[in-house]
Amino acid sequence: MTQTADTKTNPFAGWTTIEDAAAMVGRDHSLIRKWANDGSIASYPVGRKVRVVNIEEVKAYDQQRRMNPTRRKRSS
């Protein structure tokens, strides 16, 4: 069987687990998971317990959130 350029490329290049992405951007993994659950960033399941996210997308969204933070209103 011969390999073409398509079979040699890694389909997960640039993708990492939610936990690793959180560590890379200095955020808690539950926040990255929330962004994925809300649809703000794309995530894909790998197996039963692991989801992967595109690290560049996470970095871009994180930077956007840091530039324009939204504050929750306190209830009295």
Tally of domains in the chain: 1
Q: Over 80: is that where the pLDDT of 5 sits?
A: no
For residue range 51-71, list pLDDT tens digits in order: 999 999 999 999 999 888 777
Q: What is the pLDDT of residue 68?
A: 84
Tell me if 58 is assigned to some domain.
yes
What pTM, to 2 d.p., does this model score? 0.76
Give residue 28's domain range: 13-67
- Let me know if residue 59 belongs to a domain: yes
Q: How far is CA 4 from CA 1, 38, 46, in A?
A: 10, 37, 25
Let me know: does 21 contact 51? Beta carbons within 8 Å. Answer: no
Q: Greater confidence, 75 or 27?
A: 27
